[in-house]
Amino acid sequence: MTEPNPPAPRARRRPVTMREVASAAGVSVATVSLVINDKKTARIGEATRQRVWAAIRDLGYRPNAMAKNLVQGDSRFIGLVADAIATTPFAGQIIHGAQDEAWKHGYVLLVANTEGNDDAEAEAIAMMLEHKVRGIVYSTWYHRPIEVPGSLAETDFVLVNCFADAPGVRAVVPDEVSGGRAAAELLLARGHRRIAFVNTTTPSPAREGRLRGHREALAAAGIAFDPALVLDARPDQAGGYAVTGDVLARDVTAVCCHNDRVAMGLYDGLRDRGLRVPGDVAVVGFDNQEVIAAHLRPALSTVALPHYDLGAVGLRVLLGLDDPGDGRVALACPPVERDSVAAPSAARPAAG
């Protein structure tokens, strides 16, 4: 390590200057600036404009985006605050969707990762406000209610994967109810009638919404809801493993899990008891967490959270391209079929 000296320049091509463009086009620097900033009011002939643009092309001149922003009076930045890009791939998918949509409309995303730290969040929003962002997309990695940070109100903003009970606060969220329905339908379509529902112990929109969707799907299939088939478990592998005995004691042929990690633990619990997925018990997950769902043995049928679309639609709402009215946009959670669901077997597995 050395003291903070600027490093020696390394084989850096010298950038083309506006002066060189002016000289090549035979005009003044001021004229080049007016052409670049597309000042229609300036009295510059079409031939001159074309000469300037030709010189820009020939020399490979890159206009200074910041100077351009200043002249145009507003920036082409949009801020995106994310709380967990280092720990889950979910935030990355939201960023991917938001970035694609931002670039499509000529905006650049200023991404800030907070890892849930309040100071980092305050710093991120302040930085975005200093850069006069067009607005901020504020996202969380799991769907939950939030308190809107005060400084967000200094600009236009949209919440993504979270929401607030405050008037006029726009939010784009996953439709947990549609997801719960989709998960149950994967099983109902194969003839399962007695289905355990392993819910999370943590109160959340996912906890309420997915169960509601599950009940709707049962009702639509003419199956009476049996509260005894709903079990709570920690929303991870250990929770899924621990709940296996209770699930089997319910004499079910299939299980809807709160998420893919619970399904991963349930797989282990079933295997320890000599039971096979899907032959003995069918299993459906939730989240479509690729590294788990696609690679369990057998690969896990699950329901996808629409993270990419949450980011893209959030951006569109911010730019006024999509109109959520004054409320929330809820995006469907589509089923992803793999190999963990078969028709119920005639022979019932032994309990627990």
Site for a copy of itself in 251-280 (CB under 8 A): 261, 264-265, 268, 271
Distance in Å, CB of 106 to a copy of itself, minimum:
10
Amino acid 259 reads: N
Which CB sits closer to a copy of itself, 154 or 337? 154
Stretch that binds a copy of itself, among 67-75, 195-203, 205-213, 339-347 (CB under 8 A): 67-75
Which CB sits closer to a copy of itself, 114 or 253? 114
96, two tokens: 């991917």
Distance in Å, CB of 112 to a copy of itself, minimum:
7
Give ∠ CA 50-56-60 in degrees, rounded to 5.
150
Stretch that binds a copy of itself, among 19-27, 37-45, 103-111, 205-213 (CB under 8 A): 103-111
Choose which of 31, 199, 200, 237 interacts with a copy of itself (CB under 8 A). 237
By CB under 8 A, tell whether 338 contacts a copy of itself.
no
By CB under 8 A, tell whether 86 contacts a copy of itself.
yes
Amino acid 226 reads: D
Choose which of 290, 337, 339, 352 interacts with a copy of itself (CB under 8 A). 290
With beta carbons less than 8 A apart as the criterion, state whether 229 and 243 touch.
no
Burial class (CB in 10 A: 0-12, 13-18, 19+), 212: middle
With beta carbons less than 8 A apart as the criterion, state whether 32 and 49 touch.
no
Interaction residues for a copy of itself, span 153-192 (CB under 8 A): 153-156, 167-170
Distance in Å, CB of 2 to a copy of itself, minimum:
5
Name residues whose C-beta falls within 8 Å of residue 117's C-beta, 6 or more positions apart in sequence: none
By CB under 8 A, tell whether 320 contacts a copy of itself.
yes
Q: Give the total of residues touching a copy of itself (CB under 8 A).
A: 83
By CB under 8 A, tell whether 130 contacts a copy of itself.
yes
Question: Strand 171-174 and strand 136-145: pairing?
Answer: unpaired
Q: Is 131 helix (H, G, I), strand (E, B) or coil?
A: coil
By CB under 8 A, tell whether 58 contacts a copy of itself.
no
Question: What is the distance between the alpha carbons of residues 216 and 184, in angstroms, rounded to a whole number?
Answer: 9
By CB under 8 A, tell whether 108 contacts a copy of itself.
yes
224, two tokens: 């009476």
Which CB sits closer to a copy of itself, 96 or 193? 96
Q: How far is CA 22 from CA 27, 68, 117, 201, in A?
A: 5, 17, 49, 67
Distance in Å, CB of 31 to a copy of itself, minimum:
20
Half-sphere exposure of 242 (CA within 13 A, CB side): 10
By CB under 8 A, tell whether 241 contacts a copy of itself.
yes
Closest CA to 270 of 292, 243, 291: 243
